[in-house]
Chains A and B, each alone.
Chain A
Amino acid sequence: RKEVEQDPGPFNVPEGATVAFNCTYSNSASQSFFWYRQDCRKEPKLLMSVYSSGNEDGRFTAQLNRASQYISLLIRDSKLSDSATYLCVVHGGATNKLIFGTGTLLAVQP
C-alpha cells in the first residue's frame, strides 16, 4: 500500500464548478500536511498547509481528519487557471520525509 494515495483523475469540470480532491495516508505518526500545485513541466509549488481545524484561502478550503487519516481540498468557483495537477503531501513525523501522492489532474473547461 502506498503511503499517500490520491485519485489520479483526470477531473474535467466546467468553469464555476466546485471540485473536491481526496487523499489518504497510512502513517498515523504523520504531523504536517500540505497541498501543492504543479503546472505542466514545472516544479511543484505550495498551495496551502492543512490543519486539523481546517483552513480556507479564498476559493480553496483544506480539511484534515486525523482519525480517518484523510485530507481533502475543495475548490469553489473553478477558473481556467486552476487547471493543474494537485499533489497531496504528508510530512512523515520523526523521519522528516516528505511523501507525495501521485497527484490529481484537474482540467477546467470553458
Chain B
Amino acid sequence: DAGITQSPRHKVTETGTPVTLRCHQTENHRYMYWYRQDPGHGLRLIHYSYGVKDTDKGEVSDGYSVSRSKTEDFLLTLESATSSQTSVYFCAISGGGGRTEAFFGQGTRLTVV
C-alpha cells in the first residue's frame, strides 16, 4: 500500500471553530487531492495540488482552504466549521512514476455539532 496517512482519523468539533486535517505521504507523488464523501454524492473533489504551493479548487471548495508547503504534506482547513461539513474526508495521491492512478488515505471522519 502507498505510504499515505491522514490525521486525525476521527474528530468532533463545534460549529464555528476552525479545523485542520493533515495528509502526509512518503511516496514523493506530485499530485495530492482532498475529497469529501457523503451518501448519495459519492466522492467530491474539494481542492487539489499539483506541486508545492500549487493548488486549485475542486467542485465543492467553498468554506475550505488548503496549503502545501512541502511535497509530503497537504493540509485542509475548514475556516469556520458548519454542520454541512460533517463528512468523511479522504486524501489521495497520484503521479508517481508518471502514472495517474490515485491511492487513498484511510479517511477522516469529521462531525460538526
Contact = CB atoms under 8 A, between A and B. Distances in A.
Contacts of A46: 101-103
A49 interface: yes
Interface of B is mostly: strand
Given A87-B42, A103-B42, A98 B104 contact: no
Interface in B6-33: 31, 33
B33 A98 contact: yes
B58 interface: yes
B42 A98 contact: no
B92 interface: yes
Contacts of A34: 101-102
Contact of A100 (B35, B40, B106): B35
B108 to A, nearest CB: 11
Interface in A33-73: 34, 42-46, 49
B70 to A, nearest CB: 19
Interface in B72-105: 90, 92, 94, 100-105
Interface residues of B, number: 24
Given A44-B90, A45-B104, A101 B58 contact: no
Given A97-B58, A100-B42, A103-B42, A43 B90 contact: yes
Given A87-B43, A98-B45, A100-B42, A44 B104 contact: yes
B50 interface: yes
Nearest to B92: A98
B48 A97 contact: yes
A61 B100 CA distance: 20
Interface string B40-65: 11111100101000001010000000
Q: Pick the most buried of B43, B50, B56, B105: most chain A CB atoms within 10 A of its CB.
A: B43
Interface of B: 31, 33, 35, 40-45, 48, 50, 56, 58, 90, 92, 94, 100-107
